[in-house]
Amino acid sequence: MLAAVLQVRCATPGPASLQVLLWRRALDPHIGRWSLPGGRLRPDEDVEASIRRQLAEKVDIKQLSHVEQLAVFSAPDRVPGPRVVATAFLGLVPSDVDPEVPEDTAWHPVDDLPRTAFDHQAIVLRARERLRAKLSYTNLGFALAPAEFTISALRDLYSAALGYRVSATNLQRVLSRRGLLEPTGCTAPSGRTGGRPAALYRFTHRGMQVTDPFAVFRPPVPRERAKRRRTP
């Protein structure tokens, strides 16, 4: 059992980024490398209960907003020695939560991973792709966001997760059209520069729902490629 726990975290300095929780191995094989948290399944628990227990016990992650099975990794040589088959999970933590983690555990940007053990880098990248895909056709953004947020803050979360800049106006229009956002009736405190306070929103549901199976968020198409597509 392995868990790729992802969170959009603020970098200092720099913009927020999608990060994964890793812990440094203290034993061979691959001693000193960074690896995903996990462990073995107990006879008296199902797989989701097992991964939630292990995250709580080993890296003190108790505030997961979403957990789902990612894939089974079964390459015969994925681990030295006797064959080990791993069931990997995707876990998400809201951006306003800052879990206390042990000294041997740290958050790492998915775009700049350290040297990892076994096939754990491939698992992390698979988790990122699953998240990006589901942001296109589900309401999974709720699992990255705090309970209440401004549209610009939500735009930053989507941008960090998707890997490209998202338009706040387009994001609000798409999510509102799908019935995923509602205003709270409150506003965020004004910043140091003053100005009109931004309205606060929340997701209408905080459980995953398929909202548009045919919609996809895609990076902007370069102008030259767009022209070629329109040329008969």
> Percentage of the chain with pLDDT > 90?
70
Task: Kindly tell me if the per-residue pLDDT of 210 is higher than 70.
Answer: yes
Task: Kindly tell me if the per-residue pLDDT of 91 is higher than 90.
Answer: yes
Read off the pTM.
0.89
Q: Which residue has the tokens 């096939």?
A: 119
Helix, strand, or coil (residue 154): helix
> Rg of the Cα trace of the chain?
20
Instruction: Using alpha carbons only, give the angle 50, 52, 55 rounded to the nearest 5 degrees.
Output: 105
Average of pLDDT values for 121-149?
97
Q: Where are the domains of the chain?
A: 2-125, 137-230
Average of pLDDT values for 15-44?
94
Q: Which CATH class is domain 2-125?
A: alpha beta
Mean pLDDT over each residue of the chain, to the nearest integer: 90
CATH number for 137-230: choose from 1.20.210.10, 1.25.40.80, 1.10.8.50, 1.10.10.10.
1.10.10.10
**How confident is residue 14, by pLDDT bands cut at 50, 70 and 90?**
confident
DSSP element (H, E) containing 106: strand 105-109
What pLDDT does 13 receive? 67
Average of pLDDT values for 169-177?
95
